[in-house]
Amino acid sequence: METAGRGGTKSVVVPGVVAPSSVACVRSLGRRGIRTIVVSSDESTPAFASKYCDEAVHAPSPHEDLVAYKDVLCSLAKRSDVQTIIPVREPDIYVLSKYRDEFAEHVSTPWPTFETLSRTQDRVQLFEAAAAAGVAAPETTLFTATPDREREWIVKPRYTILGDEYLEEYAPERCVAPPSTQYLESNPARSTEDVRTEMEHVPLVQEYVSTTEEYGFFALYDEGEPVATFQHRQRRGYSYAGGPSAFRESVDIPALEEAGLALLDELEWHGLAMVEFLRDDETGEFKLMEVNPRFWSSLPFSVQAGADFPYYYWLLANGMRDRIDHSYQPGIGGHLLRGELLYLHSVLTDEIDLVEKPGLAEAVLDIGRSLLEQPRFDYLSRDDPQPFVRDLVNTLSSIRQ
């Protein structure tokens, strides 16, 4: 599918996904007259509905055929108007880094080499880097034996994406999102072999950090040097146990910045990164959870707070790093309304070990108060309403299923 768009000589390719990051990129760059090309296998992606989407291109899902998806991106990269491609999910950055040399012949490549990328997508390497950088982290090891039952543990995938670079039995076309993190206590009878079979590899077992204080440190790096940073604290996730952000507030905490920069400096990072931390209730330390080496789902809020990362990315890709002004406003909040609905759905239906469930009345009151006090929304926009409508329809359809 293709649609004609506004004129212009410079374009950017944005994968269209369910997360609000795609729409944030299209709006940020489209409002500056930069031509946007949205690529997706999903006709219902909200980014297709944006008035700032100049061209819509259908592509195979990377989870169905990663090589075919790469070929579509490469064909777009070869166009003279296309300057760069923006990674918004793990398969995007995986394929862009894996085939970086191929893309570099045609477009700017502000993303890491695969050797560097693997140090974030392979959590064994990530926590080794954290130790080398002096960044605190929960006790973590490969799940090859049942850990001490006197302590609380979670099981999480070793890899943030399953592909042939990490699992030799995978073909290059195959790319799979690993299963979600599990609370080990929810099924203590399961063997390590059961979990390994389900996750298709040897996962990690990690000390459970009991806290509601979840933070994100966000950065754009240029060959090992930070050029823009941002921080937020997550107040609510899709689930009452956490997960992607539904409501968050901007913060400016020196210790958080120190930890985030120390890790990314150790990685000699290049490109985008979100570093996720939990703040230990007892010690006050920021403990590393993971690194997302691409745009984050709460990107619209970063832009609303003044940290316009899509534009920063564009400037870096086009050799205009000196024009990046990365100031932002701390102390404000923003919502993903779909996330708030999913949070309430979680309160109504989920029973999650180790995490105390809030009462429904309390949850509704908290959401209502924050909506009135901090009326900023990821999708809802007066000048571009259709992505919000599309996302609402998608959400209601998924809840009914």
Please tell me the predicted confidence (pLDDT) of residue 400.
66
pLDDT at 233 over 50: yes
Rounded distance, CA 295 to CA 93, Å?
10
Do 220 and 303 belong together in one domain?
yes
pLDDT-derived band at 7 (thresholds 50, 70, 90) equals: very low
Distance CA 273, CA 357 (A): 31
Q: Is residue 3 part of a domain?
A: no
pLDDT of residue 177: 92
> CA-CA distances (angstroms) from residue 379 to 47, 56, 57, 384?
10, 19, 21, 9
Beta-strand relationship, 11-15 and 35-40: parallel
Average pLDDT over residues 28-41: 97
* Per-residue pLDDT at 209: 85
pLDDT value of residue 324: 96
> Are residues 237 and 346 both part of a single domain?
yes
Q: HSE on the CB side for 305, CA within 13 Å?
A: 29
Distance CA(166)–CA(45), nearest Å, equals 29
State which amino acid sits at residue 341.
L
- Domain end, chosen from 150, 176, 207, is at 207
Q: What is the CATH number of the domain that holds 90?
A: 3.40.50.720
131 lies in some domain:
no
Q: Do 225 and 201 reside in the same domain of the chain?
A: no
CATH of the domain at 231: 3.30.470.20
Residue 6 has pLDDT above 80, yes or no: no
Contacts of 164 (CB under 8 A, 6+ apart): 170, 171, 172, 174
The answer to whether residue 235 sits within a structural domain is yes
Q: Identify the helix (H) or strand (E) that includes residue 23.
A: helix 21-30
Same-domain status, 50 and 178: no
Mean pLDDT score, 301-330:
96
Choosing from 167, 183, 207, the residue where a domain stops is 207
What per-residue confidence (pLDDT) applies to 240?
Answer: 82
The answer to whether residue 388 is domain-embedded is yes
Does position 52 have pLDDT exceeding 50, yes or no? Answer: yes
Q: Is the pLDDT of residue 135 over 90?
A: yes
Cα separation, 4 vs 362, in Å, equals 48
Same domain for 195 and 279, yes or no, is no
Query: Is the pLDDT at 214 greater than 80, yes or no?
Result: yes
323 in any annotated domain? yes
Q: Are residues 80 and 146 in the same domain?
A: no
- What is the structure's pLDDT at 26? 98
257 and 396 in a single domain? The answer is yes
Question: Is 82 in the same domain as 167?
Answer: no
For residue 383, pLDDT beyond 90: yes
Average pLDDT over residues 322-329: 93
- Which tens digit of pLDDT belongs to each residue from 237-291? 888 888 788 999 999 999 999 999 999 999 999 999 999 999 988 888 999 999 9
User: Given a cut of 80, is residue 27 above it in pLDDT?
Assistant: yes
User: Is 285 in the same domain as 369?
Assistant: yes
User: Mean pLDDT score of the chain, rounded to an integer?
Assistant: 92
Together in a domain, 389 and 338: yes
The reported pLDDT for the residue numbered 2 is 40
Q: Are residues 189 and 273 in the same domain?
A: no
Domain end marker among 207, 223, 251? 207
Q: Given a cut of 80, is residue 190 above it in pLDDT?
A: no
Phi/psi of residue 150, nearest 5 degrees = -80, -10
What does the pLDDT average to over 371-383? Answer: 94
Q: Do both 235 and 376 map to the same domain?
A: yes
Q: Confidence class of residue 185 from pLDDT cuts 50, 70 and 90?
A: low
> Is position 341 within any domain?
yes
* Structural domain boundaries, residue 63: 11-114
Q: What average pLDDT does this structure show over 20-36? A: 97
- Please check the confidence at residue 358 and state whether its pLDDT lies above 50: yes
Mean pLDDT, rounded, for 86-105? 97
Q: What is the pLDDT of residue 187?
A: 55
Output the CA angle 123-59-81, nearest 5 degrees: 95
* Domain total of the chain: 3
Which pLDDT band, with edges at 50, 70 and 90, does 66 fall under? Answer: very high
Look at residue 401 in the predicted model and tell me its pLDDT.
58
Q: Tell me whether residue 129 is in a domain.
A: no
User: Would you state the pLDDT for residue 299?
Assistant: 97
Kindly state whether residue 42 falls inside one of the protein's structural domains.
yes
pTM: 0.92
